[in-house]
Structure 1
Amino acid sequence: MDNIPFQKGLYETGNGIFAYLQPDGGWGWSNAGLITDGGQSLLVDTLFDARLTREMLATMADAAGVGADDIGTIVNTHANGDHTHGNGCCQHAEIIASEASAKEMDELPAPALAAIMAQAKDLGPTGQYLVDIFGSFDFTDVSEKHPTKTFSGEYSVTVGDKRVDLIEVGPAHTAGDVLVHVPDDKTVFTGDILFIEGTPIMWAGPVSNWIAACDHIIDLNPDTIVPGHGPITDIAGVRRVQDYLHFIDGEARKRYDAGLSVRDAAHDIKLGDFSSWGDSERIAVNVSTLYREYAGDTTPPDVTQLFGLMAELKR
């Protein structure tokens, strides 16, 4: 789909399927999708706040004739707020997510994010980093709505005569990542299993699951691949994400075996071919997750500390 530019807006990829793109694809600037057929419609993900979601829905109403009240189903590809905070803008929609994602949605509700951002100016360099990456979003204006249906493994729905397969591939990026596959139209919406031209961030792992999720996308042999962040891509784009995951696994393992700390390893790893990707400081989270995996440590990460380390790497 090289003909679709990476510019903000709604793009029909063919046969009643649309991608909604948000440059630059960095923190919070996520993509969404719309699947329509026979007067029915399914929305793949909402956006980071209600204002952005309402703007997207207005664009869909104008361009595709599908208004907020027309959307019968929302699929959340995972729990992060930049894919869920506008769920309630579609009042009549059934909301489907993996069971693991539904549980994870409670962990950082929008009011908690709003409280953190209200205090950011008092948090020194870490706070400034939070303002830099999240300051464009209004976490006091969200429309949260939890899933009304959950599943584990695989689940299929129909939109008109289209079959849409929901394939759980997490834990990887998060606890419950889901691919949305429209087989007859050879289209996959990947959620944050794919960041294109941006650095993937591995909150959950294990890395082997994420690499396997990329293999699953490749095996589906889609013509159109809409990532969670970044421009529409192809199989080569999937392989590049896999290459990054293999690379950081190898580099982190060497430093773990050598006894380096997470902080020292994150500073020490030279990203080489991947250094041009946005948000490269996410290596801090990736190393931390990999170190916990190597150690068999199942305790949750210290997110505050990790944002501090990302701020340090960014500087």
Structure 2
Amino acid sequence: MTEGINNLGNGTWAWLAHSNSWGWSNAGLITDGEESLLVDTLYDLQLTDQMLRKMRAAEPLARQIDTLVNTHANGDHCHGNELVRGAEIIASTASAAEMTELPPEAMAAIVASAAEMGPVGQYFLACFGQFKFDGIVHTPPTRTFDGQLDIKVGDKPVQLLEVGPAHTRGDVLVHSPVDRTVFTGDILFIEGTPIMWQGPVANWIKACRLIEEMDVEHIVPGHGPITDKEGVRQVRQYLEYVRDQARQRYDAGLDAFEAARDIELSEYASWSDPERIAVNVDSLYREFSGEQNATDIFELFARMATLAGYELPR
């Protein structure tokens, strides 16, 4: 499979980004009869418009999208919603609420001021400076659900399975049994480091096991190339490894950032964005301690910037 539109057969398509790093997300299209369902939009309007044009050229039923499913609240999976005009937009209730907390205009403001923020700003620009957040109109879901929602695209049954909170508060899998295909959103990062903004980690591990048990041929992750059951297992094993390593250091009295710096990533060090270990350990520490308040997002980016080699003032 290559960058751009990929035909999975039977009227189902995957859109693959050229990178698996920050903001470069995948999407999907399921069609049957006269109906179409889009899985996720992209981080800005230019990227989403390019994707929709390519989908329409490849699949006539993409000219009018009937249903759009946002797999979760991160902007690289929903900022382009306004371009899917006339579609019913579905997300989990938890995702819909979370989408309001970091709208596009907030990202635009942070990017605009990042140059004045020193090394952490440099890191933030390296992650997000290539995206255009100005002028995006936040376009929320028009329908929400909890748990599971069974819908149809033409005669195809499609299952929307809420598996969050995990990566975010309301992660959803989009499973098309007839196509033996599942679009996982950011439950799967392939060849890239998962980032656990929310947790608990047990939910994420359970979601991986659910995918491993599915009768599917095509597994389309939120980031990275299309994968198979072995790719799912690798993500699960990363989460289990970091959980166990973090627990040892929590019990030994290290703070979260000390623990993140101390954990040997071994075979996972080659995955993109390994510095996300800082966020993952912080989330695990909150889980271990029962702390309800999330760590300040700029503090987390400062930790990742340090691990990525950006020199922060002491």
| TM-score, scaled relative to structure 2 | 0.97
The one of 11, 15, 18 aligned to 2:13: 18
The equivalent residue for 2:33 is: 38
| TM-score, scaled relative to structure 1 | 0.97
* d(CA) in 2 for partners of 1:271, 1:300: 24
The equivalent residue for 1:313 is: 307
* d(CA) in 2 for partners of 1:93, 1:38: 17
The equivalent residue for 2:186 is: 192
- Check if 1:149 corresponds to 2:166: no
- Check if 1:251 corresponds to 2:245: yes
* d(CA) in 2 for partners of 1:88, 1:39: 22
1:220 Cα shift? Answer: 1.4
Alignment of 1:41-80 (within 5 A): 41-68=36-63, 70-80=64-74
- 1:252-306 per-residue CA deviation (whole Å, 9 max, x = no partner) reads 0011111111111111111001000000000000000000000001112211100
Larger deviation, residues 8-17 vs 134-143: 134-143
The equivalent residue for 1:214 is: 208
Contact 1:207 1:249 in 2 (8 A): yes
* d(CA) in 1 for partners of 2:155, 2:137: 30
Q: Gapped runs of 5+ residues in structure 2?
A: 310-314
Alignment of 1:110-121 (within 5 A): 110-121=104-115
Contact 1:10 1:59 in 2 (8 A): yes
The one of 274, 277, 283 aligned to 1:283: 277
* d(CA) in 2 for partners of 1:185, 1:42: 13
The one-letter code of the counterpart of 2:184 is T
The one-letter code of the counterpart of 2:177 is P
The one of 96, 103, 112 aligned to 1:102: 96
Distance change (3 Å), C-alpha of 1:56 and 1:141: farther
- How many aligned residue pairs are there? 309
Contact 1:50 1:143 in 2 (8 A): no
* d(CA) in 2 for partners of 1:188, 1:67: 19
Q: Gapped runs of 5+ residues in structure 1?
A: none
* d(CA) in 2 for partners of 1:180, 1:269: 34
* d(CA) in 2 for partners of 1:99, 1:310: 30
* d(CA) in 2 for partners of 1:300, 1:264: 18
% identical aligned pairs: 57
* d(CA) in 2 for partners of 1:171, 1:115: 27
Contact 2:4 2:18 in 1 (8 A): no
The one of 8, 19, 35 aligned to 2:3: 8
Q: What is the SS of the residue equivalent to 2:306?
A: helix
Larger deviation, residues 57-66 vs 247-256: 57-66
The one-letter code of the counterpart of 2:36 is S
Q: What is the SS of the residue equivalent to 1:174?
A: coil
1:85 Cα shift? Answer: 0.2
The equivalent residue for 1:303 is: 297
- Check if 1:29 corresponds to 2:54: no
Contact 1:49 1:141 in 2 (8 A): no
The equivalent residue for 1:172 is: 166
Contact 1:77 1:178 in 2 (8 A): yes
Q: What is the SS of the residue equivalent to 1:155?
A: strand
Report the aligned-residue RMSD.
0.8
Contact 1:49 1:143 in 2 (8 A): no
The one-letter code of the counterpart of 1:13 is L
* d(CA) in 2 for partners of 1:12, 1:19: 7
1:67 Cα shift? Answer: 4.3
- 1:140-161 per-residue CA deviation (whole Å, 9 max, x = no partner) reads 0424310000000000111111
The one-letter code of the counterpart of 1:296 is G
* d(CA) in 1 for partners of 2:206, 2:143: 26
